[in-house]
Structure 1
Amino acid sequence: MIAAGLLLLAVGSVDLVRQMIRSRRWIAFAAAAVALVVVSAGLDAVIAGLLAVAVAAIWTWVVPEHGPARAGLWPVALLALAAAACVVIAPGRVRPGVLGEMWTTYRPADAVSVDVIVLVVGCLVFLLESGNAVVRIALRSEMGGRVVPDETATPTLKGGRLIGPLERILVFVLTLAGAYTLIAAVLAAKGIVRFPEISRDGDGGDRAEYFLIGSLVSWVTSLAAAFLVWWGVHAG
């Protein structure tokens, strides 16, 4: 479980760095890698931390910041399989390292383990900017050479980069909390807000198709992350 959390944390951190820092990124990448390895060493999972850093480095190459992904949806599928495999192979640990021992000592009696905390944090970080990358890959793979709305100068969809992460985190948290009625309300509200814009779509239907594909992929990503945490908790 700890390996899955570190894996998603590394990939999510890389995409956040690419989004927030424009110059001398290698310094931020190096600092993030060192910090992740140090934390993983404190959790007695240094090998998992090093592997997570390696996977994040590969992710930056196969999933570029601009333009189509070099391998289509394969990197996303392989990352999902790797995270699931980490949960299956190592669901829980008896010795969680120095940081884990500190958490065990000072946490409330009914709190979850440090491995679950790392997995939840990794999922949240991944859903922020890496979730946008997943949606972008799916859109460009499905719509081919057509120009999707977020690649134009139209200002009406610029809030998507902020709305998407907030929506994914909200669905993720509500799913773990079992608030399925609230999830349905959130999804319905998004459809109502976007309906006037979609209704003005032309004969090609590109905007409606963009909305449906992007929304479904975003929701599936959140639900998959929530299922991974649920699986890790029950497997451990």
Structure 2
Amino acid sequence: MIGAGIVLLAVGVADLIRLYVPSRGRAGAYAVAALVVLIGAAGADAVVWAFVAVAVAAVWVLATPGSAGGRAGLWPLVAVAVVAFVAVAFDGVRLDQGPLGESWPADSPLGAVSLDVALFVLGAVVFLSESGNVVVRAALRGGDVAADAPNALKGGRLIGPLERVLVFALTVTGAFTLLAAVLAAKGIVRFPEISRDSDLGTRAEYFLIGSLVSWVTALGAAFLLWWGTSV
């Protein structure tokens, strides 16, 4: 499971660097982030997965659109998902978690939490933030939604990450009733804006595609966590 967590963390950090670091210093930031991932993974006895994660993150940045432009489709997300599934299938939650695992607190207010699970949760949360936005943008550009549709509904760049993290957290904690209420509330809040759509349903299409892709991404991360702790 730690391999999947490192991969998601590396991709998520790469997208955060792409978003917040000016292009002039971006190469250096990528190099520092890769070095930190490698050192941290070595302490968790997962250095092989760190090299895989750095390679996957590099391909992700080259293949996916940034804040503007690009039409990569969803194949980079599929590639990341395949690598994460393979990592979970091969590792699960390891008994030997390296030098860092020996000093990791065995108990928490939520119960026993291993280093593998903690790193996966961290990686999932980081990935679901800006990388989730990248996935949604790629899905919208890959379809027939109008190019100016993202401007039709405001606040998605902030609401999206919060929504995905909330869906992930509610799913892994089994709060399905609350999860259903949250998803329904989003539709209710957005309904007045969508109902005023005068552009042949573009706003409704944008809302539905973006929401479904966002939810599926969060649910996929939650499934990986459930599967990894079950194998």
Interval containing the TM-score (normalised by the shorter chain): over 0.9
Moved more, 133-142 or 87-96: 87-96
Tell me which residue corresponds to 1:91: 92
Say whether residues 1:117 and 2:118 are aligned partners. Answer: yes
RMSD over aligned CA atoms reads 1.5
Tell me which residue corresponds to 2:7: 7
Tell me which residue corresponds to 2:34: 33
* 1:22-101 matches, cutoff 5 A: 22-23=22-23, 24-65=25-66, 66-70=68-72, 72-101=73-102
How far apart, CA to CA, are the structure 1 residues paired with 2:78 and 2:57? Answer: 15
Which secondary structure state, in structure 1, belongs to the residue aligned with residue 94 of structure 2? coil
**What amino acid maps onto 1:126 in structure 2?**
F
How far apart, CA to CA, are the structure 2 residues paired with 1:203 and 1:135? Answer: 21
Say whether residues 1:127 and 2:128 are aligned partners. Answer: yes
Q: Is the 8 A contact 2:65 2:138 kept in 1?
A: no
How far apart, CA to CA, are the structure 2 residues paired with 1:112 and 1:186? Answer: 27
Say whether residues 1:199 and 2:200 are aligned partners. Answer: no
Q: What TM-score, normalized to structure 1?
A: 0.92
How far apart, CA to CA, are the structure 2 residues paired with 1:201 and 1:163? Answer: 20
> What 5-or-longer segments of structure 1 have no aligned partner?
none
1:83-136 residue CA offsets vs partner (Å, 9 max, x unmatched)? 111111121323211111111xx4328512111111111111100000001111
Kindly state the Cα deviation for residue 203 of structure 1 after the two structures are TM-superposed. Answer: 4.8
Identical amino acids, percent of aligned pairs: 56
How far apart, CA to CA, are the structure 2 residues paired with 1:9 and 1:202? Answer: 40
1:143-185 residue CA offsets vs partner (Å, 9 max, x unmatched)? 26x32422x4x6x51x111100000000100001111111111
**What amino acid maps onto 1:184 in structure 2?**
A
How far apart, CA to CA, are the structure 2 residues paired with 1:36 and 1:220? Answer: 27
**What amino acid maps onto 1:50 in structure 2?**
F
The one of 219, 222, 228 equivalent to 1:226 is 222
How far apart, CA to CA, are the structure 2 residues paired with 1:90 and 1:203? Answer: 49
Kindly state the Cα deviation for residue 47 of structure 1 after the two structures are TM-superposed. Answer: 1.1
Q: Is the 8 A contact 1:148 1:207 kept in 2?
A: no
How far apart, CA to CA, are the structure 1 residues paired with 2:164 and 2:99? Answer: 32
Which secondary structure state, in structure 2, belongs to the residue aligned with residue 169 of structure 1? helix
> What 5-or-longer segments of structure 2 have no aligned partner?
none
Say whether residues 1:167 and 2:163 are aligned partners. Answer: yes
What count of residue pairs does the alignment treat as equivalent? 227
Moved more, 24-33 or 204-213: 24-33
Kindly state the Cα deviation for residue 68 of structure 1 after the two structures are TM-superposed. Answer: 2.5
